[in-house]
Structure formats: C-alpha cells, structure tokens
Chains A and B, each alone.
Chain A
C-alpha cells in the first residue's frame, strides 16, 4: 500500500534489535515524519481544494432550495404519485443540504487545515492527596451532623425515608380497575352462541363450510358488545373442515366437531399473535410471529415452534336452522400462558 519508507525512523525493515543473551525488545520507532499534503506544497492544489469545499457548500445550498421547491411548488392532490414526488424532493433536498455541509467540512479539514498530531497527558482519575482531603471533609461533615452520636435521629430518619416514597408507588393502583386474572378464563362463547364471519358478523351454515375451506370467526353479537376489542382479542376462532377420518379425536371431545368441522382459538398460545395461516394440504396452522405450528389433525398439538400449549378447541354443533353454534365456552384459557393459568 504505497510508499512505506516514509514511516520508518531510519530505514524500513529491522526495528527490533537484540544484544547477546538478552531478550529482544520492541524498539519504539518514534513518530513517523510529517508528510506534507499536496495542498501544503502546491498553491494551485490549495486553490483547487478551496474551490472544491466551496462547491460542496453550494451543493448544500441547492439542496435546501430543492427542499423548498418540493414543499411549496408541489400541490398535494389525492394521488400517491404526487406525494411520492414531493417526499422524494424533500428527502433529496435535505440529504444534499446536510451532506454538502458535512462532506465540505471533512474535505476542508483533510486538505487545508493543519494535520499535525498532538498528544495530551492522561491524568489519574484521583490522586492520593485529593482522596485524603475528601476523606477529612466527609469525616468533618459527618461529625458536625452528629448522626453517629444520635442513633435515635438516624433511625427515625431512615424509617421516614423508606416509608415516604411508598405513596408514590401506591398511587398507581388505579392504572387498572380490573385486576382479577379470572377474566382471562372466560370469553363471549357460550352454549348456543352462533359462529359468525369476521368482520361482518353474518352467521355460518354448516353446509357453507366445504372440505378444505377455512373461516375467520367471531361470536354472534361481538360487533355490538360493549368491550368489543377486548372480547375479540379473546374470542376469535378459526373454522375449518376436514375429512372426519383425518381427525384424531380424543376421548371426551367426540361431540366437539360437526361432521369434520372444527373450531380452534386463533390466539397463539405462545405470546398471543393470531395463528392466521392455514396450510390446507398438511392441515397445519402456522403462527406468523414465531413460527409455532399446530397440527389440526391432532387437536392442534404443537409440532414446531415456541408455543407451549395446543390451541384450545371450541366445541361446536348446529342449531335448528342449520347454523353453526358453540355448545360451551372454551374449556381452558385462550392465548399465552400466565401465572394463574395453572
């Protein structure tokens, strides 16, 4: 990389010497000689560098003007193209305005300003003398307060200081009126509640659910519920139909599906993302957040990823008019684990 003979104190090559029988010591080569730059030697180069710096500052000025052209000359209509053009001009304008100043000053410093090195002494963070003075002063202060001689004052002060901040913590109690973990166990689903489409809330006939199809489902009446978002965050369900032969139904859940139509909570049991991806051919449900994968044929057992529990199943049936209904709430809390879940 270039001519390196300039860096050596005497000649390049041997910088270490060894006397007889003694350990070789690394010799401090000393500061390399200062090498004048082109602009230090050639007045024309100096002029050129000066012009270059000025040009960079002018580029900055042009950048600022470009910003104002973009800001005032472009009328925003309702099209994305206009917005995009304006945004581009604002960004490029600011970019040149800042870069012009920055690059200009760097170029100025590197070509025209003095480039000699200077060294600065390090100091000890503290000296022994300072330490002794400080120790004496602190000792005097403690002595003058008499805190060592008066333990009654010391102890009551300590007690007061420990207690005094407590209201500042206690006053935050009303951050939430509702702190009963039991609310997490219950959703809007109940016996007879119809399964309806998300988001319009129209009920779903069992005959609409063909094999291989999937529905995003909310409970009937959710859109009119008082705490709609909180209820929805717990109650959303995925509805799919498989061949009844593909389902491995465990004892006690025989009547939870209807002719191969199954409903599972859409809230991932890992940290609560919507398990929104249904792989129709493999019957896997995939959570996009952390790739937890649930096997629909094994009652949504976790087969991959960080989730700890199977997705809770919603027991379903049909009513007299052929619409799908829940036969009860979920039998376990939906969503991520929490301490009181057990």
Chain B
C-alpha cells in the first residue's frame, strides 16, 4: 500500500520512535482512531459480561500454573507427600499430584483456590449476564445470533467446569464421573457405546482423567476463546444496548467516554450519567434496544401518554 503523500513525521522522543516504528508497520493509528474513544455503557448491569471475561482470563492464568505441576495419570501410587494423614495411602498419580500442589508447592493451594473460585464466578457471571440480556430484550434483532453464541458459551463453561471437576480424582471427581457415566448410558441406542469410548472400556478404566485433561486444558478453552472472539466482534458490530436517554436519539448509543480507563470506569457500578437512562426504563421505548433500523417497525405500540408522564416524573424523583 503506497500513500499519496510522503510520510514526513519524525518522532522526537524514544517512546515516540518505538510507537512510530510499530505504527508504520502495523498501522496502529487507524485502530486507535476507531476504538480509542469507543464508548461503553456505564450502567452496572453491563458489568457481568466483563466479570465473566476477566474470570476467564484468571482461569487461563491460574490454570496454566496448575498444568506445570498436575500429572493426569491414573496409575496407582502410594502417597509420600507432606500431608501426614494420607501418607502411604494407595491413590492415583493424579490425586497425589493434586495433593502435592496443595501441600508441597508454595502458592499451589492458593492457585487451586483461585482457579476454583474463578470457575464458579465464571459460570455465575455468565448466567447473570444472560439474565440481563434476556430481561432487557437485548437478545432481539439484530443480536439473535450473539445470544446463541452466548448460550454456547454457557454450555462450554459448564463443560470446562465439569472436566476440571473430574481431574483431581478425589471422591467428588469420582461421583461426578459416575453420574456423567450414568447420564451418558441413558442416551438411547448409542449411550453404552459412547460411555465405553469415553472411558476406554468399562467405568472407571484408566484413561478418563488423561482424556478429560486434554479436553479441559486444550479443546474446551480453545473453543471458548474462539466463541469469545466472535461474541466480542458482534458486540463491536452491534454496539451496546444501554437504553437511549433523554435528548439522545434512539439511533445513537450513549454513554460515558471510555479513555483511558474504560474498563475501570465501567467497574464503577454507577456514575453521574447513569441517571440519564432511568427516565426511559419503565416505558416500552426503552426496551427498543439496539439498532432500530428504519425498516424495523417498533416492536411495541406507542407509549400511552400517562405512562410517559409518570415515568418521567418518577425518574425525576428517583
């Protein structure tokens, strides 16, 4: 790509030279121009999706730490770690390495707990996020496909949770696996075969932990990442669904400026401008989320005046 005018910019500072080096090779300026002032909704209910996203980031980081020490083998061993009550007990290598992470690797128990709680928060925040999208009608045209991607993400989150739950090979893992085996066997016609293919024969076999490990650390997170990329791409295409406020045309999306700490500003559950959408909350107008293209008829009949009045005055006093 050749530009018509020669590039005459010469950076003055060291940082400027580095930025210019990258910019002239990758084209960062147009990206900044497009996204640098991207506006974000500032109502607190838009935070749950982000909580889910950052939970996932924490899961990736803490999980990567755990893979350095976890051994997904079902070979039998005798525990020789420092937790006295279990010394000499026959167990699988997977469980022994889990105990080692907890008791013999500094910070290991902390990382296990971090991973565990982040996983719980991940599923919980995805669920609450979906409730927000559902009850505000934000799943409607043109966002139906993104709603479906979100549903897939919830299922994947559960799959990631289940496969991880099964890895330590403790009592809970065993019960969880036994239940999933029973669930799979209940599938008509092919259930028995799927169960045997999954477990490498009869329950429990010696393969399942290793197989679930590959699913848990590679396949499922990779698909989740892909789905998150699609999800966020569609959010950029559609823009957010915060209600139009007073004096803001319905075709615009309004919110606070985002730079430089968009993420943190959003983390604040309310801000001075959050009141701006409140007047419209009880009216059906406010539920016309997203792009109301000229071809789309309003999904609801026009608001009766009384509703508008009371809504307006209610918000005044709110």
Confirm or deny: B182 has a beta carbon within 8 angstroms of a beta carbon on chain A: yes
Confirm or deny: A271 has a beta carbon within 8 angstroms of a beta carbon on chain B: yes
B278's nearest neighbour on chain A, judged by CB, is A7
CA distance A62 to B171 in the complex (A): 39
Q: Is the CB of A117 within 8 A of B256?
A: yes
B239's nearest neighbour on chain A, judged by CB, is A122
CA distance A178 to B207 in the complex (A): 13
CA distance A177 to B196 in the complex (A): 9
Q: Is the CB of A31 within 8 A of B198?
A: no
B238 / chain A contacts, CB cutoff of 8 Å: 125
Q: Is the CB of B237 within 8 A of A337?
A: no
Q: Given A178-B201, A179-B197, does the pair A122, B192 have CB atoms closer than 8 Å?
A: no
Q: By the criterion of a CB under 8 Å from any partner CB, how many residues of chain B are at the interface? A: 84
Q: Is the CB of A272 within 8 A of B309?
A: no
User: Of the 9-residue stretches A20-28, A140-148, A277-285, A294-302, which lies at the interface with chain B?
Assistant: A20-28
User: Of the 9-residue stretches B22-30, B158-166, B225-233, B240-248, which lies at the interface with chain A?
Assistant: B240-248
Q: Is the CB of A175 within 8 A of B198?
A: yes
Confirm or deny: B137 has a beta carbon within 8 angstroms of a beta carbon on chain A: no
B307 / chain A contacts, CB cutoff of 8 Å: 26
Confirm or deny: B188 has a beta carbon within 8 angstroms of a beta carbon on chain A: yes
Minimum C-beta distance from A19 to chain B (A): 11
Confirm or deny: B312 has a beta carbon within 8 angstroms of a beta carbon on chain A: yes
Q: Is the CB of A273 within 8 A of B192?
A: no
Q: Is the CB of A230 within 8 A of B192?
A: no
Which of chain A's residues 165-208 have a Cβ closer than 8 Å to chain B?
Answer: 172, 175-179, 181, 183-184
Q: Is the CB of B255 within 8 A of A271?
A: no
Confirm or deny: B252 has a beta carbon within 8 angstroms of a beta carbon on chain A: yes
Confirm or deny: B57 has a beta carbon within 8 angstroms of a beta carbon on chain A: no
Confirm or deny: B10 has a beta carbon within 8 angstroms of a beta carbon on chain A: no
Cβ-defined partner of B316 (8 Å) among A12, A181, A335? A12
A25's nearest neighbour on chain B, judged by CB, is B305
Cβ-defined partner of A273 (8 Å) among B179, B249, B251, B255? B179
Q: Is the CB of A1 within 8 A of B293?
A: no
Q: Interface residues, chain B, CB within 8 Å of chain A? A: 37, 39, 82-84, 103-104, 106-107, 109-110, 113-114, 142, 175, 178-179, 181-183, 185-193, 195-206, 237-239, 245-249, 251-257, 261, 264-265, 267-268, 271-273, 275-276, 279, 283, 290-291, 293, 303, 305-309, 311-313, 315-318
What's the interface size class on A, roughly?
35 or more
Q: Given A26-B305, A26-B308, A121-B252, does the pair A230, B185 have CB atoms closer than 8 Å?
A: no
Minimum C-beta distance from A49 to chain B (A): 14
CA distance A106 to B261 in the complex (A): 8
CA distance A182 to B217 in the complex (A): 34
Confirm or deny: A340 has a beta carbon within 8 angstroms of a beta carbon on chain B: yes
Minimum C-beta distance from B81 to chain A (A): 9
Instruction: Contacts A26-B303, A122-B251 known; list 9 others, CB within 8 Å.
Output: A32-B276, A109-B265, A114-B257, A116-B257, A118-B39, A176-B201, A179-B193, A230-B203, A271-B183
Cβ-defined partner of B192 (8 Å) among A105, A289, A340? A340
CA distance A15 to B279 in the complex (A): 11
A232's nearest neighbour on chain B, judged by CB, is B204
CA distance A327 to B77 in the complex (A): 35
B107 / chain A contacts, CB cutoff of 8 Å: 71, 90
CA distance A15 to B202 in the complex (A): 72
B142's nearest neighbour on chain A, judged by CB, is A125
B106 / chain A contacts, CB cutoff of 8 Å: 71, 76, 86
Q: Is the CB of A271 within 8 A of B181?
A: yes
